[in-house]
């Protein structure tokens, strides 16, 4: 049985699959602010529910309805949704009625997008925050790093993940993934236009998550290029503070562009293409190291939830 750290905030997890279980273990091992009080799933034979029970955590196989009936739920301060975009609408409505904070790990995008090193402080009072997608958590910080130096006219990202790390939820939400990630590139990353592509790589042995980011900007001289490099390096370090396996694969690349038509811009373009190549290796808390796409989501969700709880507790003290 896992001991409950004194003074930590009770949390609940909806979803006992890979993401929910990895989140459960991360909170148990890494968080000084949270502990998991309840886990809800829909499959009584779920390995995730069995894992939670072995840790001494209350569980239910009756989904959100069962969670709301659990006595442990009364004290919960933050709820994680690790299910699917389709299910989140009902979960969000039910949790909102209880007044508890919610962190959405699905691409439902009902609440504001949150990418911790970019805009976490802007949404600490929101009742339901959305963690975008794994591709968004990996690439939006880079686009934001470029856009704080020079306007990004167009951003295109390609997220390549191991096919083995894409479970039923990921595969069912491919359309939501591309739409949500593209919107976050614009709304959080600052790109005028954004496009996202996901590739499920069937290679054996499985490869770690790799992301390519291309940003089209106005022409950049040597000084501006150096400023972009410094900005990207600082942002990479900020992400690595909570996702240790996040790193640049090589130096930021700058390519002059002068073409009569460039897809994504809708016409001729003269400027600079900034290219950044990333790799995300998982921490191996529950999932294999190649599943960096899942690791970055649960890591970002944990960082966000800790900040949400801190804000709410500060507000309670102030009152």
Average pLDDT estimate for 197-222: 97
Task: Report the range of poorest mean pLDDT among 187-196, 256-265, 295-304.
Answer: 256-265
- Residue 307 annotated as binding site: no
Quote the CA–CA distance of 62 and 14 in Å, as a whole number.
Answer: 10
Average pLDDT estimate for 73-80: 98
**Nearest to 140, CA basis, from 271, 162, 284, 148:** 148
Q: Could you give the residue ranges of the DSSP H alpha helices within 241-283?
A: none
User: Is CATH 3.40.50.720 correct for 9-131+296-318?
Assistant: yes
The residues that are catalytic are: 134
Quote the CA–CA distance of 283 and 243 in Å, as a whole number.
Answer: 8
Quote the CA–CA distance of 136 and 115 in Å, as a whole number.
Answer: 8
- Residue 133 annotated as binding site: no
Contact 135, 198 (CB under 8 A): yes
DSSP calls for 80-130: EE-S-HHHHHHHHHHHHTTT-EEEE-STT--S-B--HHHHGGG-TT-SEEE
Could you tell me the two tokens for 260?
Answer: 């009569």
Each residue of 163-202: pLDDT tens digit?
A: 999 877 778 778 888 999 999 999 999 999 999 999 999 9
Q: Sort 316 into a burial class: Cβ within 10 Å, 0-12 / 13-18 / 19+.
A: exposed
Average pLDDT estimate for 60-85: 97
Instruction: Give CATH 3.30.360.10 domain extents, the chain.
Output: 134-289
DSSP annotation of 280: E
DSSP annotation of 4: P
Each residue of 134-157: pLDDT tens digit?
A: 999 999 999 999 999 999 999 999
Residue 54 pLDDT class (50, 70, 90 cuts): very high
Tell me the C-alpha to C-alpha distance, in Å, between residue 112 and each of 9, 14, 68, 303. 23, 19, 24, 16
CATH number of 134-289: 3.30.360.10
DSSP calls for 145-193: HHHTTS-EEEEEEEEEEEGGG--HHHHHTHHHHHHHHHHHHHHTT--SS
CA of residue 32 relative to chain centroid, distance:
20
Judge whether residue 319 has pLDDT over 50.
Answer: no
- Residue 16 annotated as binding site: yes
Instruction: Determine the pLDDT at residue 1.
Output: 45
Average pLDDT estimate for 97-102: 97
Quote the CA–CA distance of 95 and 13 in Å, as a whole number.
Answer: 12
CA of residue 238 relative to chain centroid, distance:
14
**Nearest to 211, CA basis, from 275, 305, 116, 273:** 275
pTM, two decimal places = 0.94
Judge whether residue 51 has pLDDT over 70.
Answer: yes
- Residue 27 annotated as binding site: no
Average pLDDT estimate for 233-260: 97
Instruction: Determine the pLDDT at residue 175.
Output: 86
pLDDT > 70 in the chain, percent: 97
Instruction: Determine the pLDDT at residue 2.
Output: 54
Judge whether residue 49 has pLDDT over 80.
Answer: yes
Instruction: Determine the pLDDT at residue 116.
Output: 98
More confident residue, 54 or 313: 54
Judge whether residue 318 has pLDDT over 60.
Answer: no
Helix (H, G, I), strand (E, B) or coil at 256: strand
Average pLDDT estimate for 271-292: 96
Each residue of 151-160: pLDDT tens digit?
A: 999 999 999 9
Mean pLDDT of the chain: 95
- Residue 271 annotated as binding site: no
- Residue 167 annotated as binding site: yes
Instruction: Give CATH 3.40.50.720 domain extents, the chain.
Output: 9-131+296-318
């Amino acid at each position: 049985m896992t001991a409950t750290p004194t003074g930590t905030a009770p949390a609940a997890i909806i979803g006992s699959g890979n993401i929910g279980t990895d989140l459960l273990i991360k909170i148990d091992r890494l968080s000084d602010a949270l502990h998991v009080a309840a886990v809800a799933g829909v499959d009584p034979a779920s390995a995730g529910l069995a894992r939670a029970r072995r840790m001494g955590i209350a569980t239910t196989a009756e989904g959100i309805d069962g969670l709301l009936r659990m006595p442990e739920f009364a004290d919960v301060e933050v709820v994680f949704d690790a299910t699917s975009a389709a299910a989140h609408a009902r979960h969000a409505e039910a949790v909102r009625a209880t007044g508890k904070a919610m962190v959405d790990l699905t691409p439902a995008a009902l609440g504001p997008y949150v990418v911790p090193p970019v805009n976490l402080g802007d949404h600490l009072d929101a009742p339901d925050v959305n963690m975008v997608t794994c591709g968004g958590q990996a690439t939006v910080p880079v686009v934001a790093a470029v856009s704080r130096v020079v306007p990004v006219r167009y951003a295109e990202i390609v997220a390549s993940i191991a096919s083995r790390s894409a479970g039923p939820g990921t595969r069912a939400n491919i359309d939501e993934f591309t739409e949500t990630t593209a919107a976050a590139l614009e709304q959080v990353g600052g790109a005028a236009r954004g496009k996202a592509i996901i590739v499920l790589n069937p290679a054996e042995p499985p490869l770690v998550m790799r992301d390519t980011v291309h940003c089209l900007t106005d022409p950049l001289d040597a000084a501006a290029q150096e400023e972009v490099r410094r900005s990207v390096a600082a942002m990479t370090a900020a992400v690595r503070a909570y996702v240790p396996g996040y790193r640049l694969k090589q130096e930021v690349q700058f390519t002059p562009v002068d073409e009569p038509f460039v897809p994504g811009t809708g016409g001729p373009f003269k400027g600079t293409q900034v290219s950044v190549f990333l790799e995300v290796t998982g921490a191996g808390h529950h999932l294999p190291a190649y599943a960096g796409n899942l690791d970055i989501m649960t890591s970002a969700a944990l960082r966000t939830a800790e900040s949400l709880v801190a804000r709410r507790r500060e507000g309670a003290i102030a009152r």
